[in-house]
A and B are shown apart, each in its own frame.
Chain A
Amino acid sequence: MTSSLIDNQQTRLAARAVDVVKVYGHGDTAVRALDGVSVDLPTGQFTAIMGPSGSGKSTLMHCLAGLDQVTSGQVLIGDTDISKLSEKQLTLLRRDQVGFIFQAYNLLPTLTAEENIELPISIAGRKPDQKWLDTVIDAVGLRPRLGHKPAELSGGQQQRVAGARALASRPEIVFADEPTGNLDSHSSAEMLGFMRRSVDEFGQTIVMVTHDPNAASCSDMVLFLSDGRIVDEMANPTAEKVLDLMKRLGG
């Protein structure tokens, strides 16, 4: 069950999971959330992970992002094996090489939109690359709202701030956890358009967990998870094809 079907040419990998197993709990109550998942995520690809509730898609993403420890197997970001990193090294890796977009936006209410976008750079104590920031801000179309606090922004705007934040530090890879889950269809479309553009125009690698076929259809490759295993995958998806496959898997 490898996912090396993408292209046959030797693409650089942004991240990679090798035979990852994740078990929660012990003994009788143990749950195998991931049951030997291997996946390659090439640089510059927009990958969607789909599957029914409890299929392990969020767990897979958390493990790939170094937020959660794997029980066995290997996770690499770039060339770094993150299962061997210390807490501190993981934090630094997240800071410098990984971006996040959450379903619930997760902006700091005390900071303005602009400060939220620059937050990861500020935490790292680096000087922001103003040209790149301008590019990202224009890509999300938020220039007029930069001085506003999250409470003064709509859900769609907040999520686009979160998107810009994820890109601000030019991470190796961006993980998006149901980024359109809380948004109306119009805002969803804007958000997806932004993610698509960042892949096409900036070569950003994005991994997105979703159960919205429409969202998945914007990606380059869809991985289907069920009971902790990758059960299928689909290149160049459309909403209809995804929906069909999901019906088949569900039934």
Chain B
Amino acid sequence: MLNATLKGLAAHKLRLALTALAIVLGVSFVTGTYVLTDTISKTFDELFQNVTQGVDVVVRGKDTISDQSMGELRTPLPESLRPRIEQVDGVKLAEGSVSGYAQFVKNDGKPVTTGGAPTLGVSMGSAPELNDPYLRSGRMPTSSGEAVMDVLTARKYGFAVGDQVKVLLQTGAKEFSLVGLIGFGEADNLAGATLAGFDVATAQRLFDKQGRYDEINVVADEGVSQTDLRNRVAAAIADPRYETLTREEYAEKNAQSISDTIGRFLGTALLAFAGVALLVGAFLIFNTFTIVLAQRTRELALLRCLGASRRQVLNSVLLESFVVGLIASVVGLGAGVLVALGLRRLLEAFGGELPTTSLQLLPRTVIVALAVGIGITLISAVMPALKATRVPPVAALREEVAATAPRRIGRLRVRGLVGTLITAIGVALLAVGLFQNVGSRLANLAAGAVVIFLGVAVLSPLFTRPLARVIGWPIASAFREPGKLARLNAMRNPRRTASTAAALMIGLALVTFVSILAASIKASATETLDRSIAADYILNTEMFTPFSPELAKQLARQPELEAVAPARAGAWKLRGQTKQLIATDPALYDRVVRTQTTAGAITDLSGGGLAVKDTVAETEGWKVGDSVPMEFLGRGVQQVPLKAIYKDNSVNGDFLLSLRDYERFYDNQADQQVLVRAKAGVAPAESRAAIERVLTSFPNVQVRDQAEYKAEQARQIDQLLALVSALLGLAILIALFGIVNTLALSIFERVRELGLLRAVGATRGQLRRMIRWEAVIIAVLGAVFGLVVGSFFGWAVVRALKDLGITVFSVPAGQLVGYVVAAAVAGVLAAILPGRRAAKVDVLRAIAAQ
């Protein structure tokens, strides 16, 4: 029996390959994701080893808070801590360090951009122990006019030691003379970030951190171990606000926190796409096995005639699927390494220069890839396998297997009932994920979506005939006989057509969903801007990095401008939970942003205080006049009076703090956005010119009027949409393989018919056309299912995100029609190979074959 199974497999290599392809693609994506994220983690491990060369112990603030634009922030250290540490026995030297925003300006006057990685400014040590490991050429900066640059940036933009270089800082733009170039071990820069180095005192001034350090680096005396030194320093400081780490611990913790971030975002996102691909692959395998087993009815019946038990037939089919799964998973594993290389190239193309580390293929990756690949293949094959066991032995003796089984109304009713039930469960799961905060929302959403897909797939055969009739109508009337036959063929086995189309449905549903979501976000953003923003101009940097408050001050002096409202962003904690706030000058802000208050007024914040959104006040039970316990980094808990409650306007966010309080509670004072309103009667060209004049000293800040701001937001959303669609393209590609596969197998089944058509005078072209239009009908059918399901997802999610400011439900009709057309074109492509095969059918063989 085993032998028969394996021989059967070997005899159908092409079929095997087609079936395996879906799994290969899915598994390779899973593998690629793991390999890439593991490699990046390893890279950062090595990187943090590199950037701490020469250091033995690091002291830094213990409390952290994650700021939206600045990343992880820590309590700063007072300068006075350094001499205390230096007096500890065993300490050779201790130096403070600070870091902040610093962006180089190219020789053409434009800022150097990184495509996502930070543009970092750091202080360089003065002791040779801390300097030497980094210096590649020149020397370290020693005075306020000097700077060093990372080797890669220098090479890329043609800078050399001795050049003058302009650097954009939070405090404005400054010229420095380049005295040296630095690198990190083998790496020429820090994982894509650009790096500007200054001496400590200069850095403190440039980053607005006078009198403070971010970290203190300690070098041990000869013969003192890192652990000893750490314990001694920690004992000497004896302050719970600060932590003391050995170099190993420091590097490990930093790498860990970056790996976690990468694992959480990049990893989860990529694995989600891999999951979609595998789901589509599962449909494909299910479909292939169903068709192949139907074609092998006689063979299976013969086995039963010869005395094989049902269990043996089941085992034989499952074994076959296991072998297919195993082979596909192994191939997918190998291909995954290539996928990882490709993804890395892609990241590098976007400016993320990664230090070279060999690709990491961990045992976990191998185990997961094999388990997922084999598991999915087996699960998908169970249903067809069970069906195969029901083949009666007598089928082997029958002349011909009925090509189309008569429809049984009872079974259709059962199918309708089961499908509706599954779909309902999926909708319920989706609803829980969207509207209730139970368990993991994302998990509920994903489970809901998958179950809905299954439910619709069960239901879809019921709609296939009528839909194929409608879709095929224009084809049948325009392309006569081949078109008509294509339409009939698409309708003859609704279950096969439906499950082939269902695979395509998944990809298109998700693409439709993100398109609707993106369109709704765009429409909502536009609506918000129209409704809430009274400003004529919005100023910010490309990456929303903070910039000097000096800009707003200079703008305020321009006679063409009526109101200039700076806005700063900050993170704080409410009972241990991190929240984000916006701080602004209330009197000015009120003139550039329309806020509808339910209690108090925005201008009430002029004397200090906080305003919150009505939904937040309701949940917390706050009223105007209450004190809100706000915990700030390094400031502890502060009681801040609540002065106003406002309705959501999508601009204020949840918390609006007065600028006065912000200046008291935050160390770093920098604007993130400036909203400007021109004086009445001033021509737009004039007010803009006034702003541009000021911006010449702040080249990293961009000015946009409302229309430009809207366009920019739309562009960013479209970019994201394109990226997501490209990744979903994998699932669509697999679904197209599914169409190829189904058609190829159907042709195998219909050899006699094709031969007959040729015998009665159909040309090869006509046969190819017939196959082509059948593929088009299947593809469009899948697209229609996808559009319906995706629109539902889009509608549900947009409804659920009302709180996040997505208030408009917008359907990009043109885009959706485009998807259907694209699906039809894809169908044409999918039909090329099967069509050729059909055209090659030998007339004689076809009609002689019994």
Partner-B contacts on A (CB < 8 A): 58, 62, 67-68, 87-88, 91-92, 94-96, 99-100, 102, 104, 106-111, 119-120, 122-125, 151, 165, 169, 177
Determine whether B485 belongs to the interface, using a CB cutoff of 8 Å to chain A: yes
Q: Which of A58, A104, A111 has the most CB of B within 10 A?
A: A104
Chain B, 758-792, contact with A by CB distance < 8 Å: what is the 0/1 string? Answer: 11111110100000000000000000000000000
Cβ-neighbour of A62 out of B484, B488, B758, B844 (below 8 A): B844
A87 to B844, CA, bound (A): 14
- Contact of A124 (CB < 8 Å), options: B492, B757, B761: B761
A/B interface sample: 13 pairs, CB < 8 A: A91-B758, A91-B762, A94-B758, A94-B759, A100-B759, A104-B400, A106-B759, A108-B756, A110-B485, A119-B481, A123-B760, A124-B761, A151-B402
Docked-complex contact A91 and B763, CB < 8 angstroms: yes
B404 near A151: Cβ-Cβ < 8 Å: yes
Contact with A along B839-850 (1 / 0, CB 8 A): 000011001101
CA gap between A175 and B485 in the complex, in Å = 25
A92 to B764 CA separation, bound complex (whole angstroms): 11
Using Cβ atoms and an 8 Å threshold, which residues of chain B touch A100? 759-760, 847
Contact across chains for B761 and A125 when beta carbons are under 8 A apart: no
Chain B, residue nearest A108 (CB): B753
Contact: B761 with A104, CB < 8 Å? Answer: no
B758 contacts A110, C-beta separation under 8 Å: no
Among candidates B402, B480, B489, B847, residue contacting A122 with C-beta atoms closer than 8 Å: B480
Instruction: Give the residue of B402, B491, B761 whose beta carbon is less than 8 angstroms from that of A94.
Output: B761
Taking A109-B404, A110-B489 as contacts, is the C-beta distance between A123 and B759 under 8 angstroms? no
What B residues does A165 contact at CB under 8 A? 760
A94–B488 Cα distance when bound, in Å, is 24
Docked-complex contact B843 and A108, CB < 8 angstroms: no
- CA A125 – CA B406 in complex, angstroms? 31
CB of B443 within 8 Å of the partner chain:
no
Q: Does B403 contact A (CB under 8 A)?
A: yes
In the bound complex, how far is the Cα of B746 from the Cα of A110, in angstroms? 14
Count, chain B residues at interface, CB 8 A:
31
In chain B, positions 214-242 with a C-beta closer than 8 Å to chain A are none
Q: Does B752 contact A (CB under 8 A)?
A: yes
> Between A and B, how many residue pairs show CB distances below 8 Å?
83
Q: Are B485 and A108 in contact (CB under 8 A)?
A: yes
Give the nearest-CB partner of B757 in chain A.
A123
**A92 to B766 alpha-carbon distance, docked (Å):** 12
Ranked nearest first, the 8 interchain pairs of A and B with the lowest CB-CB distance are: A95-B761, A110-B488, A122-B481, A106-B756, A120-B760, A109-B403, A123-B762, A94-B761
Q: How far is the CB of B843 from chain A (nearest CB, A)?
A: 5
Residues of A within 8 A of B848 (CB): 58
Which residues of A lie under 8 Å from residue B844 when comparing CB positions? 62, 67-68
In the bound assembly, the distance between CA atoms of A87 and B480 in angstroms comes to: 23
Q: A108-B753, A122-B480 are in contact. Are A96 and B403 (CB under 8 A)?
A: no
Q: Are A96 and B485 in contact (CB under 8 A)?
A: no
* A119 and chain B: residue at smallest CB distance: B760
Q: How far is the CA of A88 from the CA of B404 in the complex (A)?
A: 32
- CB closest chain-A residue, reference B758: A91
A169 vs B753: C-alpha distance when bound (angstroms): 19
Q: How far is the CB of B20 from chain A (nearest CB, A)?
A: 31
Known contacts A104-B850, A110-B488, A125-B481; 7 additional CB pairs below 8 A are A67-B843, A94-B760, A94-B761, A104-B752, A106-B752, A108-B757, A124-B761
Identify the closest chain B residue to A94 (Cβ): B761
A111-B847 contact, Cβ under 8 Å, with A119-B760, A122-B481: no
Residues in chain A near residue B488, CB distance under 8 A:
108, 110-111
Q: Name A106's contact: one of B484, B762, B847 (CB within 8 Å).
A: B847
Q: Residue on B with the closest CB to A177?
A: B847
Flag B814-850 by CB within 8 Å of A: 1 or 0 each.
Answer: 0000000000000000000000000000011001101
Interface string of B456-494 (1 = CB under 8 A from A): 000000000000000000000000110011001101100
CB distance from B294 to the nearest CB of A (A): 14
Restricting to B520-544, which residues have a CB under 8 Å from any CB of A? Answer: none
Which of A58, A87, A92 interacts with B761 by CB under 8 Å?
Answer: A92
Residues of A within 8 A of B847 (CB): 67, 100, 102, 104, 106, 177
Chain A's closest residue to B400 (CB) is: A104
**Identity of the chain B residue whose Cβ is nearest the Cβ of A96 in the assembled complex:** B761
Q: How far is the CA of A124 from the CA of B760 in the complex (A)?
A: 9
**Chain B contacts of A58 at CB under 8 A?**
848
Chain A residues, Cβ within 8 Å of B484: 122
Q: A94–B761 Cα gap in the complex (Å)? A: 5
Interfacial chain B residues near A119, Cβ < 8 Å: 481, 757, 760
Cβ of A104: which chain B residues have Cβ within 8 Å of it? 400, 752, 847, 850
Give the interface centre of B484, B492, B847 by most chain A CB atoms within 10 Å: B847
